[in-house]
Chain A
Amino acid sequence: MPKPIAQALSRRTATTPEASSIPYWAWLLPVMLVIGAFYIYPIIDALRLAFTDATLTGGAESYTVRSLQRVLSNPALPTILSNTAIFTAASVVGQQLLGLSVALLVVRGERHHLPGMLVLRTIVLAAWVVPGIANGVIWSMLFSESPFGAINGVLRLLELPTVAWLSNPANAMLSAIIANVWQGTAFSMIVLYAALKSVDPSLYEAAAVDGAPAWERFWFITLPQLKAAILVNSILITIQTLNTFDAILALTGGGPGRATEVLSLFAYNTVFYQFDLAGGSALSILLLLISLVLAALYMLFMPKRDM
């Protein structure tokens, strides 16, 4: 490069004297303040509260590990953790499968210029904007075992035996999962639809010319191309499902017994029904740790490049 041009370029890209006198961390300060105030501080405070005997009813708090011991040695905790694992795993798998199915359907419909694809997408998305509590209420009406219960009503019309959706502990978890999957499918659909749309269509053509039938094109092209989206989606759904308690609260309240009580609902109940702020804080830290570990596990499978 000729010298004058090089000099002119370096002059243009060099920072001005005023800018270079400001230390680099000052540029990060605004975002550090926001994250610090709204994310880091609450976590640190929850961690601090977990090591106190704080209650919602107020009064002086002192530092102790007894709250932590009490929570961790609670005989209900294994049941609750296993409920959480089942609820989360089934929701993640269910939402991914249903979301992928709907996304494939929509993309295929669009490719063949079928009318109504936008309407279909909008209808699916409508479930997602329903608040969790409302979702619980809607499904409690659908699952209701009283004469007006919608699903049992249909079963009766078909002269099939009715199902104790919510009162039978063996069915209640399935019902809660169905309600959660119904709501969460839309989110998966949108994520996977976007990922599907970004797959180069000529890959499918190349595979078709290479003699791959439809299922092989799905297995060898679609799935590998969606790997990153499926993993990111899994992280998001996992964290969201771990934090879900509103739908369950409205649907079963965690019952019958503890059949559908998950960790987030347990934490909520500990704080707001037993007023045990310290115990609830300990449980939310446990929830955070589980989320972090699972997210880290997913990241291990994340494609590093070439995708």
Chain B
Amino acid sequence: MAPVSLVSLGKAFGSIEAVRDIDLEIADNEFVVLVGPSGCGKSTTLRMIAGLETISRGELRIGETVVNHLSPGERDIAMVFQNYALYPHMNVAQNIAFGLRHRNLSRAEIKAAVLDAARLLDIEALLDRRPKALSGGQRQRVAMGRAIVRRPKVFLFDEPLSNLDAKLRAQMRIEIKRLHQRVPTTTIFVTHDQVEAMTMADRVVVMNNGVIEQVGTPLDVYNKPATRFVAEFIGSPSMNFFDGTLEAQGEDLVFRIGNGRALPVPRARGSAYSKHFGKRLTLGLRPEALSVSDASDFTIEVETKVVEPLGVETIVYFDLAGHPASVRAAPNRAPRAGETVPLSFDMTFMHLIDPEDGSVIPY
């Protein structure tokens, strides 16, 4: 239970800079998720916080203490590893108790602490078993038990759900969230799965190429992405992107896709976008900002390519002006593949992206 500060944190492996200029303030008991594609530096950042990687540059504080040069054991953190890293020659109880060795506790106290943790995670019945005799989900719980039994200042999770099947993953997501509510602790969770990031985080930190692209609440990051990378990475299916130009049409602005139709830009955006008038830009629209209907004034006819029924909704894929794109449709009104359908655009959800630096133009 302590805030964590990362100040201009950086890590270089030889001449390769894996992580640079990470500035992040994590509040006491906050649940922060570092998310990004593989190789983006999220795990390296977590390992620097854990003390498993040396810090090349910058400062790391846990609470009031600068911990750059403290060993992992001295940082009062606990970590759940991707492969759980349970000690195979110890049973569950011994695994959980291992971190309590230097706490000057009596045997009875250790036993009580282990039982407490086991009860919290519903693994009391497994205490005598070896890790080999446990299922993936049970191992996950034991790894978490080993972490919480020490009541550390900070919990670190390194992609802990990636070895589980889809159903168990969804279940463990909820359990970790519930655990955080019952045992409030500063938590830093690393994942490449944007669904995990969105569902679990108080704040999401999107990383790419060793730097932070954006920090914000899940809905912030979803609704107001700062860069094209964030817009593309967060959300499934991904945001649609159409290249075109911002043009004037009478008193209004329109976005012309390639040489095709002009889509009207909402008047409220006018002042924010006016200085980009005439530029080549990229329009970003999430699949839910499109709909298969001819209800609005500006519809475009497209031929559907692939249709994915998901039950609750159906994703329809098509090409528009050479760009692959998708739209969410109600299952009972979804077209078939190969059909030509009208598409409506809700431009109040539009994002304009400067293709030169990939930044989303603020509005």
The answer to whether A205 has its CB under 8 Å from any CB of chain B is yes
Contact between B98 and A210, CB atoms less than 8 A apart: yes
Contact between B99 and A210, CB atoms less than 8 A apart: yes
Contact between B71 and A208, CB atoms less than 8 A apart: yes
Which of chain B's residues has its CB closest to A113's CB?
B14
Cβ contacts B68-105/A at 8 Å (1 or 0 each):
00011110011101110111110000000011011000
Q: Chain B's nearest CB lies how many Å from the CB of A225?
A: 7
Cβ contacts A199-218/B at 8 Å (1 or 0 each):
01011011111111100100
Give chain A interface residues in 224-279, CB to chain B under 8 Å: 224-225, 227
Residues of B within 8 A of A208 (CB): 51-52, 71-73
The answer to whether B305 has its CB under 8 Å from any CB of chain A is no
Q: Chain A's nearest CB lies how many Å from the CB of B207?
A: 21
User: Which of B74, B81, B102 is the one whose CB lies under 8 Å from A205?
Assistant: B81
Interface band, chain A: 20 to 34
Contact between B101 and A211, CB atoms less than 8 A apart: yes
Contact between A200 and B85, CB atoms less than 8 A apart: yes
The answer to whether B276 has its CB under 8 Å from any CB of chain A is no
How many residues on the B side are at the interface (Cβ–Cβ under 8 A)?
Answer: 28
The answer to whether B351 has its CB under 8 Å from any CB of chain A is no
The answer to whether B146 has its CB under 8 Å from any CB of chain A is yes
Contact between B83 and A205, CB atoms less than 8 A apart: no
Which of A200, A211, A227 has its CB near the most chain B CB atoms (within 10 A)? A211
- For chains A and B in complex, what number of residue pairs have CB atoms within 8 angstroms? 74
Q: Chain A's nearest CB lies how many Å from the CB of B190?
A: 14
Q: Considering the chains assembled together, what is the distance between the CA atoms of A268 and B50 in angstroms?
A: 61
User: Which of A203, A209, A212, A225 is the one whose CB lies under 8 Å from B77?
Assistant: A209
Residues of A within 8 A of B73 (CB): 208-213
The answer to whether A305 has its CB under 8 Å from any CB of chain B is yes
Residues of B within 8 A of A45 (CB): none
Which of B89, B130, B131 has its CB near the most chain A CB atoms (within 10 A)? B89
The answer to whether A307 has its CB under 8 Å from any CB of chain B is yes
Cβ contacts A288-307/B at 8 Å (1 or 0 each):
00000000000000010111
The answer to whether A221 has its CB under 8 Å from any CB of chain B is yes
Contact between A206 and B87, CB atoms less than 8 A apart: yes
The answer to whether B269 has its CB under 8 Å from any CB of chain A is no
Residues of B within 8 A of A200 (CB): 83, 85
Q: Considering the chains assembled together, what is the distance between the CA atoms of A211 and B78 in angstroms?
A: 10
Residues of B within 8 A of A209 (CB): 50-52, 72-73, 77-79, 99
Q: Considering the chains assembled together, what is the distance between the CA atoms of A203 and B51 in angstroms?
A: 15
Q: Chain A's nearest CB lies how many Å from the CB of B78?
A: 7
The answer to whether B336 has its CB under 8 Å from any CB of chain A is no
The answer to whether A220 has its CB under 8 Å from any CB of chain B is yes
Q: Considering the chains assembled together, what is the distance between the CA atoms of A211 and B72 in angstroms?
A: 7
* Chain A residues within CB distance 8 Å of chain B: 200, 202-203, 205-213, 216, 220-221, 224-225, 227, 303, 305-307
A/B interface sample: 24 pairs, CB < 8 A: A200-B85, A202-B85, A203-B88, A205-B50, A205-B81, A205-B85, A206-B87, A207-B98, A208-B51, A208-B52, A208-B73, A209-B51, A209-B52, A209-B73, A209-B99, A210-B99, A212-B73, A212-B101, A216-B101, A303-B89, A305-B132, A306-B89, A306-B130, A306-B133
- A227-B89, A306-B130 known; 15 new pairs, CB 8 Å cut-off, are A203-B88, A205-B52, A205-B79, A207-B87, A208-B52, A209-B52, A210-B73, A210-B98, A210-B99, A210-B150, A211-B101, A211-B102, A212-B101, A224-B89, A305-B132
